[in-house]
Amino acid sequence: MSAGPLTGPLTGRVALVAGGTGAIGRHVATGLAAAGAAVAVHCHRSAGTAAEIVRECGGGLAVCAALPGPRSADRLLSTVEAELGPVTILVNAAEPAGAVGVAAVADVEPGTLERHLDGVRAHHELCRRALPGMRAAGFGRIVFVSGALMARPMPGMGAYAAAKAAASVLTRYVAAEEGRHGITANVVAPGRVAEPGAEEPDDPALRELSEALRRRMALPRFPAPREVARTVVALVSPEFDQVTGQTVWLTGGEFTG
């Protein structure tokens, strides 16, 4: 099975992109492949989309797994290792299905927080399973795609932000604990992500949130998925081996003071 370009800064590395069929994950996968990595594109259900992205990458592996779940990360990583080799790059760009919505803490429906927290559990499972192989290789890169709402509250996003904050803190702990093994772990935290010229959300609450964020920005537009992905790809490159335990805010230079 083809493993991407023959040369590049990530040649010989195997990358797993969790949530690889999402808008950001797709661009992360193709960016890593362009840099020479063999890429496994993870999906929850959309196997056809994952296979399409693998073709865009010029090869690799499409693999579906419901995360979190009993030994689901073990099975996922074992499949990737058997097909491509040890995973030394882990990018988590996954979003819990059906978990995003605008609701005040007092109005959050039962089960909503649990669905958000599934993302934290999945991130922990993926890191726990990938880290031993990274230690053995003496090289590892972990990037968690978070959200800026974890640090600058906007009404109605408490459950989402709490889960993103928890997974981001977990990533910082990985950085502190694993640096001596040549492993870095960083967080990329965009605000709203949108293609240039994209229409505003239909949901009035989301549209109001979007407008409030834009008023606080220095730049004239939100970052596009491919721009977020470029930041992720940069953080896993060998040139950034001294960057760890950091959060890169992609919020258009918004003024928060």
- 145 forms bridges with which residues in the sheet? 188
Q: Output DSSP code: residue 133.
A: H
Q: Round to whole Å and give the CA distance between 124 and 128.
A: 6
Q: Round to whole Å and give the CA distance between 10 and 21.
A: 21
The one catalytic residue in 72, 146, 168, 173 is 146
Radius of gyration, CA atoms only, the chain? 18
Helix, strand, coil shares of the chain as percentages rounded to 5? 45, 15, 40
Question: In degrees rounded to 5, what are phi and psi of residue 66?
Answer: -90, 110
- CA 157 to chain centroid, in Å, comes to 19
| Annotation says 160 is catalytic | yes
| Annotation says 72 is catalytic | no
- Find tokens 């559990």 and name the residue: 121
| Annotation says 164 is catalytic | yes
The one catalytic residue in 160, 168, 173, 237 is 160
The one catalytic residue in 164, 168, 173, 237 is 164
Q: Round to whole Å and give the CA distance between 244 and 119.
A: 22
Contact 31, 230 (CB under 8 A): yes
**3 state DSSP class of 210:** helix
Q: Where in the sequence numbering do the catalytic residues fall?
A: 146, 160, 164
